[in-house]
Structure 1
Amino acid sequence: MPAEPPAPSDALTRILVIDDDRKLCGLIRDYLEPLGYTVAMEHRGPEGAERAMAEPWHAVILDLMLPGCDGFEVLRRVRVKSQVPILMLTARGDETDRIVGLETGADDYLPKTFSARELLARLRAVTRRATLNQAVKVPQEQLVSELVAGTVKLNLDVREASLNDRPLSLTPVEFDILAALMKSRGRIRSREELIESLRDRQYDVYDRSIDVHIAALRRKLGDDAHEPRFIRTVRSAGYVFVHPLAKTPS
């Protein structure tokens, strides 16, 4: 197998692995460090959450099953204070675990049967996107780009969302999907088009996790998939953002 190229932008890309499987942590460290990453490890949930919030990281690799508190609780604690990219590991690859993790704020997930190459690709995708998100932030007085549809507003410059003039907490992926739908309001966007709209995210074209993010968006918008006010599913085609003044076809 040919050698992987080093981390693309930062020779000291800092990764925190929170997993009680010490052997797996060691394997991840041994694989990533020669590629230009520095890897730290924690093996309990509470300590992992504290360290994730206390130090600057480019990404966190978080296991679901942990002593002290599980990965979902770690994720909740970290998201109160930090938007560090988080890649979750699930032992069973269970869909319910993936849905809960993504809705709680995980940026991506991998079943524990992952290959080293897939881990690296996913890791690079979430760290690149986080870097780009920071790069687009500008002083408040320069903000000019905003999407408005009824009671939903997106400020594209600072990547802030609101519903009924109240802040709406969205993950980076949810924000990108909602922005893509609002930009093409009234026009169907396929899953593949929505995948393409995500910032440097590497997806298999058949990946159905777009549906998981749509479900999370609906929940946060207070939307109903059967009687949508915002996002309507078009069978075998994709999704469409419903114009707030238009009637939804039956």
Structure 2
Amino acid sequence: MKSTPHIAVLDDEVDITQLLANYLPAHGFRVSQTHDGDGLIRLMERDPADLVLLDLGLPGEDGLSVARRMRGQWQAGLIIVTGRGDAVDKIVGLEVGADDYVTKPFDLRELVARIKAVLRRMTTPAPSTPAPGNSRALCFAGWRLDIDARSLRDPQGLEVALTHGEFELLSSFARHPGRVLSRDFLLEHTRGREAAPFDRTIDVQVGRLRKKLQSPGGSTEIIKSVRGAGYILIPPVSHD
């Protein structure tokens, strides 16, 4: 990540984007403003942002659709900033890969803290587990998780795109195969205590991982839920 993190602000309210463009540089960020989904895509192609602040209530293409397009092409951090505060919108935001969710009206100092927390999680290496030969790849049921390259390949060798949160979650499972991991454990190891988690964060992310770990014709259950306890990675893990 660049020494001065680049933040893209997408909101149809010019007053909001201008407020953030004036406030965030004093806290060490470079800011770009845009007001619709196409504008964000053009910005990301021209000058990729490290993190996007995305409003849901956009005219035309809604914010969730924009988030899906963004997640399909870039691995930037994503914080949804919106006036929609109900639980359904928060869950859907997580499902499309948001790293955090801030409801308007927001406190500028809190927003800065959340931006820094997401950027810190993106740049902090996950704790490593000693392995034979100092291996940094974990293999299970034909899948290969490369810790250094932060990539996942399916049994056919094709790369599967993961968000930052999905990668950290799968890494936690792969480092503790055959062990039931509680939601609190997974929250701590993927988001940290510095970020206030919203309800069902882990459930939503596990659901996304399960879909991505379904290879064509595959029948092996990779991640199993344990009622009242958490989740467990079923296949044994080897070090490549």
TM-score (norm 2): 0.80
| CA positional deviation for 1:206 | 7.0
- The answer to whether structure 1 residue 124 and structure 2 residue 134 are counterparts is no
Residue 73 of structure 1 aligns to which amino acid in structure 2?
A: S
Structure-to-structure mapping, 1:75-114, within 5 angstroms: 75-114=67-106
RMSD: 3.1
| CA positional deviation for 1:129 | 2.8
Choose the corresponding residue for 2:140, options 127, 145, 149.
149
- CA gap of 1:175–1:206, structure 2 versus 1, over 3 A, is same
- 2:150 maps to 159
Q: CA separation in 2, counterparts of 1:22 and 1:200?
A: 33
- CA gap of 1:53–1:84, structure 2 versus 1, over 3 A, is farther
Residue 153 of structure 2 aligns to which amino acid in structure 1?
A: S
| CA positional deviation for 1:10 | 7.2
Choose the corresponding residue for 1:47, options 31, 36, 39.
39
| CA positional deviation for 1:17 | 0.3
- The answer to whether structure 1 residue 179 and structure 2 residue 171 are counterparts is yes
Q: How many residues align?
A: 227
- The answer to whether structure 1 residue 70 and structure 2 residue 62 are counterparts is yes
Which fold has the larger relative contact order, with Cα–Cα distance below 8 Å and residues 6 or more apart in sequence?
2
The answer on whether the counterparts of 2:178 and 2:233 sit within 8 Å (CA) in structure 1 is yes
- 1:38 maps to 30
Q: CA separation in 1, counterparts of 2:108 and 2:228?
A: 34
- Among all aligned residue pairs of Structure 1 and Structure 2, give the percentage whose two residues are the same amino acid: 38
- 2:204 maps to 212
The answer on whether the counterparts of 1:230 and 1:244 sit within 8 Å (CA) in structure 2 is no
- CA gap of 1:35–1:215, structure 2 versus 1, over 3 A, is same
| CA positional deviation for 1:19 | 0.3
Q: CA separation in 2, counterparts of 1:127 and 1:201?
A: 15
- CA gap of 1:201–1:51, structure 2 versus 1, over 3 A, is farther
SS at match of 1:186: coil
- 1:124-170 per-residue CA deviation (whole Å, 9 max, x = no partner) reads 1222233346xx9xxxxxx9411111132211110111232332221
- CA gap of 1:11–1:229, structure 2 versus 1, over 3 A, is closer
- CA gap of 1:154–1:10, structure 2 versus 1, over 3 A, is closer
- The answer to whether structure 1 residue 29 and structure 2 residue 21 are counterparts is yes
TM-score (norm 1): 0.77
| CA positional deviation for 1:93 | 2.6
| CA positional deviation for 1:123 | 0.6
Q: CA separation in 2, counterparts of 1:96 and 1:199?
A: 21
| CA positional deviation for 1:103 | 3.0
Q: CA separation in 1, counterparts of 2:12 and 2:18?
A: 11
- 1:235 maps to 227
SS at match of 2:33: strand
Q: CA separation in 1, counterparts of 2:220 and 2:15?
A: 47
The answer on whether the counterparts of 1:125 and 1:201 sit within 8 Å (CA) in structure 2 is no
Structure 1: unaligned runs, 5 residues or longer: 1-8, 137-142, 246-250
Q: Which moved more, 1:180-189 or 1:32-41?
A: 32-41
